[in-house]
Structure 1
Amino acid sequence: MVSDSKGCDNRNHTRIRVLTYLMFFMFAMTSDAVGVIIPELISQFGLSMSQASAFHYMPMIFIAMSGLFLGFLADKIGRKLTILLGLLLFALACFMFALGESFYYFLFLLAFVGTAIGVFKTGALGLIGDISTSSKQHSSTMNTVEGYFGVGAMIGPAIVSYLLISGVSWKYLYFGAGCFCLVLCWLAYRADYPQIKRSSTDAINLSSTFKMMKNPYALGFSLAIGLYVATEVAIYVWMPTLLQSYQGDYTTLAAYALTIFFTLRAGGRFLGGRVLDRFPWQQVMFWFSFAISACYLGSMIYGIEAAVVLLPLSGLFMSMMYPTLNSKGISCFPVDQHGSVAGGILFFTAVSAAVGPLLMGLVGDIFGHVKYGFYLATGFAILLCLLSGFNLVKDPARHLLTAEAH
C-alpha cells in the first residue's frame, strides 16, 4: 500500500512538472517575441522607438506589480485556484487581441497579460517547492523549467517571423497562445495538487508579503537576481542594435548571434541539474558569473569583433544563474510562504527587465552610441560577480538551506 501511494504521488508530481514546464514555455513564446513584433508596430502605427518599446516595458511593469501585490494569493487560496485564475485571465487577454487595432488597446491588453502572468507564475513557483524534497531537487527542477522557457523564447520569435513572411498578422501568435492556454487550464484543473501544511499562524495578505520582503535573505537574493536580469536582458534587447552595422569576418555569426545566445542559454539550463549535482551551487554561481563578466569585459576592451563571439557565448554561462538564484531564494522560506516570496522576487525580476534596458538606452543616447550602454551592463555583470564571490566565501544562507546538505 505504501508503495502504491508513493507511485501515485510520483505520477502526480510528474504531471505537475509537465504542466509547469508548459506554462513557462507558453509565457516565453509571447514575451520574447516582442522584439520581432516591435518593427512591425513602428511601421504600422508610425511610432518612434521609445513609443514602440512600451510593448516590452508594459507587460514587465505589470508582471512586477502582480508579483508584488498578488503573489500572496498562491499561499492564501492555494496553488490550483491561483494557477487557474492566472491562466484564464491570460487566455482572455490573448483572445481580445482579435477585437481591436489600436496601439493603445494593445498596450492595455499587454498590461492584462502581465497581470495574468504574475498570478500564474507565482502559483507555479510555489508549486515547484511543494513537490521538491530538497533544495537541490528544487534547483534542478527550476533549471529544467527555465530550459523550457528558453525553448519558448526561440519558438515565439520564429512563429512571428513566419507569420509576417506569410503575410499574416502577428496577432495570431496571441490567438494560438490563448488556445494553448485553454488546454493548460484543463490540465491544471485535472491535476492533483499536494496538500500544504501551514508552518505559521500569521495571516496571509499583502502586509505579510511586504514584511517578508524586508527579510535580508529575500533582499539579498532579489538584488542578485536583479543584477543578473539586467545583464541578461541587455543581450536580447540591445545586442542586435550593437551588431547591426558589423562588417567584419564573422558576418554570418553576427546575423545569428541572438539565436545562438538563446540556444546556449536553453541548452545550458537543461544540463543545469547535472552540473549542480557535481558541484556546490555557490561555486557554480561564482565561476559562471565570473565568466559572464569576462565575456562583457572582453567585448568592451577588444571591441565589436570580440563582441560578436563573446556576447552570444555568455548565454551558456547565464543558463543556470537565474533558476538557481531564484530557487535558493525561495528555499530560504517555509513551503507555505513560497508563493509570497516568489511574488516578491518576481517583482525585482520584472522591474530589472524593464529598467535595465531603459537605462542602457539613455546612456547610449547621452554618449551617442549603444556601446556605452553596454559599459553599464558590464558594470552590472561585475557587481553580480562580486556578490557571488561574497556568497562563495561567507555562504550566509547555509543554515536556511539545510536540505542542501542531504
Structure 2
Amino acid sequence: MKHWKIKLSLFLNYFVFAILLNSVGTVILQVINEYQIDPSSASVLEGYKDLSIAIASFLIASYIPKFGYKKSMLAGLAFVTVAAIVMRLTGGFLMTKILFATVGVSFALIKVSVYSTVGLITDDSNEHSSFMNMLEGIFMIGVLLGYWLFGGFIDWANHTPGATWLDTYWVLAAISAAAFVLLVFTELDESEVQADNQDIKKSFLEMIGLVRLPLVLIFIAGVFLYVYIEQGIGTWMPTFNNKILQLPDAMSVQVTSIFAATTAIGRLASGAVMKKVNWFWVLISCIASAMLLVVLVLPLAGGIEEGSVQGWLSAPFAAYIFPLIGLFLAPIYPTLSSTVLSKLPKTKQSGMTGLIVIFSALGGTTGSIFTGFMFDHLDGITAFYLTLIPMGIMLLILFPYRKLRKDFKFESLTD
C-alpha cells in the first residue's frame, strides 16, 4: 500500500485522541458520582476540551505548515503523554480540567496536521474522501474501545480495594508514547507544502478570508450543527443510561460503546457506498433516518424504575436501540470535510482545516453544555428530543451547499 507507514501513523494518532477526547462523557459521569458535582457544572469539562481546541486552532493553524506537520503531531503526542501521567498521579476535578485543556490544544496540533497530511498522500477527490472516512472510522473504533477501557477500570475499581478508575491513564500514556515513537521513525515528505510556505501573517489572513465565501459559510454551519448533535448525544449518553435508563455505572459507559461501534461501522462502510451513490443523497438519507430513530425510540426510555436493571439481559430495549443513531450520523462529518477540502489546493488545506477544527470545537461545546443544562433543568429525554432541531436545520442547508460546491472555483478567493 502506498504511503502505508504514514497512514498507519495517522491512524494511531487519531486512535489515541479518540479515546482521550471522547472520554469526557465517562469522566463527567465519574465527576458527578465521585465529587458530587452537578451536571451543569460537570459539563464545563467539554468546554475545557473544545474551547482549547478552538482557541489553539485559531492561533496556530496558519503556523503549522511552517513548523511542520510531523513536528506538530509529535508535540501533541508528547503533551498528552505527560498530561495522562500527571492525571493518574494527582486526580481531582481541577486536574481533570487541566487534562482536557491539554488534550484540546494537542488535538488542534494533531487534527490540522493529520487532515493536511491526507492531501499530501492521496491523489484525487475520491481517494481523499475514502481515506477521510477510513480515518474517521478508525477514530470511532478508538472511541468504542475507550468506553470499554474506562468501563473495565471503573468496574475493577468498584470491586478491588485500592484500585481506581484513574489507572486507565497509565494505559493511555503508554499508547500515546507508542504513537510518538512510531511517528519519530516515519518519513513524511512535506516539500510540496513547504515550497509554497509564505508569511505566517498572510497565511492567517487567508484562513480568516475563507469565511467570506458562501460555500465555506454554509459548510461551517453544517459542521457546527453536526458536532453539536454528536457531542450532545455522545457526551451525555453515559449519564442518560445511568440516570434515565437506570443502568449501573460501568454498564452505562460500556453500553455507550454501541454508539461508537455503529458510528465506526457507518464511516468505514460509507466510503464504499459513496463510490456508487452520490454523497448528497447518502447524507440526506442519514439525517432523515437519525431523526426518525429519535422520534421512535425515546418514548421507550421513560418510566424505568431505579434498581430494576441488574445486567445486560435486564436492560431496557432503548439502551440497545438508541445508540444505533451513530450509524446514521457517521458519514456526515468526514464527507462534509472532504467535500470542501478537496475543492482547495493542497497548500491551502491547513487553513481550511483550522476552520473545521475551530467550528467543530465550538459546536461540540455548545451541544454538550446545552444538553447538560437541559438534563439539569428538565430531563434527559427532553434534552435528546431537542437534537431534532439542529438535525432539521442541517437537512435543509445541504441543498444550497450542494449547489454552491458544484459552482465553486478556487479563483473566487481572489475575487
Report the Cα distance in structure 2 between the residues aligned to 1:96 and 1:256, rounded to whole angstroms: 25
Q: How is 1:323-338 mapped onto 2 (pairs within 5 angstroms)?
A: 323-338=334-349
CA contact (8 A) 2:144 2:258 kept: no
Report the Cα distance in structure 1 between the residues aligned to 2:83 and 2:171, rounded to whole angstroms: 12
Instruction: Call closer, same or farther: CA 1:53–1:389 in 2, change over 3 Å.
Output: same
Q: Could you list the per-position Cα deviations for residues 178-207 of structure 1 after superposition, in whole angstroms to 9, with x for gaps in the alignment?
A: 222222222222222132146867533433
Give the alignment partner of residue 44 of structure 1, picking from 34, 48, 52.
34
The answer on 1:191 being equivalent to 2:186 is yes
Instruction: Call closer, same or farther: CA 1:256–1:173 in 2, change over 3 Å.
Output: closer
Report the Cα distance in structure 2 between the residues aligned to 1:105 and 1:239, rounded to whole angstroms: 23
Q: How is 1:43-82 mapped onto 2 (pairs within 5 angstroms)?
A: 43-82=33-72
TM-score calculated relative to the size of structure 1: 0.85
- Tell me, which stretches of 5 or more residues in structure 1 are unaligned? 1-9, 248-252, 402-406
CA contact (8 A) 2:65 2:193 kept: no
Q: What SS does structure 1 have at the residue aligned with 2:59?
A: helix
The code of the aligned residue for 2:335 comes to T
Aligned to 2:11: 21
Q: How is 1:164-203 mapped onto 2 (pairs within 5 angstroms)?
A: 164-167=154-157, 168-194=163-189, 195-197=191-193, 203=199
Instruction: Call closer, same or farther: CA 1:259–1:271 in 2, change over 3 Å.
Output: same
Give the alignment partner of residue 221 of structure 1, picking from 219, 222, 229.
219
CA contact (8 A) 1:74 1:340 kept: no
Cα displacement (A) at 1:386: 0.9
The code of the aligned residue for 2:405 comes to P
Cα displacement (A) at 1:395: 4.9
Aligned to 2:389: 379
Moved more, 66-75 or 195-204: 195-204
Instruction: Call closer, same or farther: CA 1:75–1:216 in 2, change over 3 Å.
Output: farther
Instruction: Call closer, same or farther: CA 1:180–1:35 in 2, change over 3 Å.
Output: same
Moved more, 38-47 or 52-61: 38-47
The answer on 1:285 being equivalent to 2:294 is no
Cα displacement (A) at 1:246: 4.7
Q: Could you list the per-position Cα deviations for residues 328-367 of structure 1 after superposition, in whole angstroms to 9, with x for gaps in the alignment?
A: 222232111222211211111111111112223334555x
Report the Cα distance in structure 2 between the residues aligned to 1:176 and 1:260, rounded to whole angstroms: 22
Q: What SS does structure 2 have at the residue aligned with 1:345?
A: helix
The answer on 1:342 being equivalent to 2:353 is yes
Q: How is 1:261-340 mapped onto 2 (pairs within 5 angstroms)?
A: 261-299=259-297, 304=301, 311-340=322-351
CA contact (8 A) 2:143 2:257 kept: no
CA contact (8 A) 1:199 1:336 kept: no
Report the Cα distance in structure 2 between the residues aligned to 1:342 and 1:105, rounded to whole angstroms: 29
Instruction: Call closer, same or farther: CA 1:158–1:256 in 2, change over 3 Å.
Output: closer
The code of the aligned residue for 1:131 comes to I
Give the alignment partner of residue 396 of structure 1, picking from 388, 391, 405.
405
Instruction: Call closer, same or farther: CA 1:166–1:258 in 2, change over 3 Å.
Output: closer
CA contact (8 A) 2:300 2:318 kept: yes
TM-score calculated relative to the size of structure 2: 0.83
Report the Cα distance in structure 2 between the residues aligned to 1:160 and 1:71, rounded to whole angstroms: 32
Give the alignment partner of residue 73 of structure 2, picking from 62, 67, 83.
83
Cα displacement (A) at 1:153: 0.7
Q: Could you list the per-position Cα deviations for residues 312-343 of structure 1 after superposition, in whole angstroms to 9, with x for gaps in the alignment?
A: 23211111111111122222321112222112
CA contact (8 A) 2:39 2:372 kept: no
Moved more, 188-197 or 337-346: 188-197
CA contact (8 A) 2:46 2:364 kept: no
Q: What SS does structure 2 have at the residue aligned with 1:148?
A: helix
Q: What SS does structure 2 have at the residue aligned with 1:396?
A: helix
Cα displacement (A) at 1:31: 1.9
The answer on 1:92 being equivalent to 2:82 is yes
The code of the aligned residue for 1:190 comes to F
- Tell me, which stretches of 5 or more residues in structure 2 are unaligned? 158-162, 303-316, 411-415
Percent of counterpart pairs with the same letter? 24
Aligned to 1:7: none
CA contact (8 A) 1:88 1:185 kept: yes
Give the alignment partner of residue 141 of structure 2, picking from 145, 151, 159.
151
Q: Could you list the per-position Cα deviations for residues 347-406 of structure 1 after superposition, in whole angstroms to 9, with x for gaps in the alignment?
A: 11111111112223334555x3233323321000111111123334x25345459xxxxx
Report the Cα distance in structure 2 between the residues aligned to 1:234 and 1:45, rounded to whole angstroms: 22
Instruction: Call closer, same or farther: CA 1:304–1:103 in 2, change over 3 Å.
Output: closer
Report the Cα distance in structure 2 between the residues aligned to 1:289 and 1:124, rounded to whole angstroms: 27
Instruction: Call closer, same or farther: CA 1:278–1:229 in 2, change over 3 Å.
Output: same
The code of the aligned residue for 1:203 comes to D
Cα displacement (A) at 1:160: 1.6
Instruction: Call closer, same or farther: CA 1:383–1:164 in 2, change over 3 Å.
Output: same
Report the Cα distance in structure 2 between the residues aligned to 1:295 and 1:150, rounded to whole angstroms: 20
Cα displacement (A) at 1:220: 1.9
Q: How is 1:124-143 mapped onto 2 (pairs within 5 angstroms)?
A: 124-143=114-133
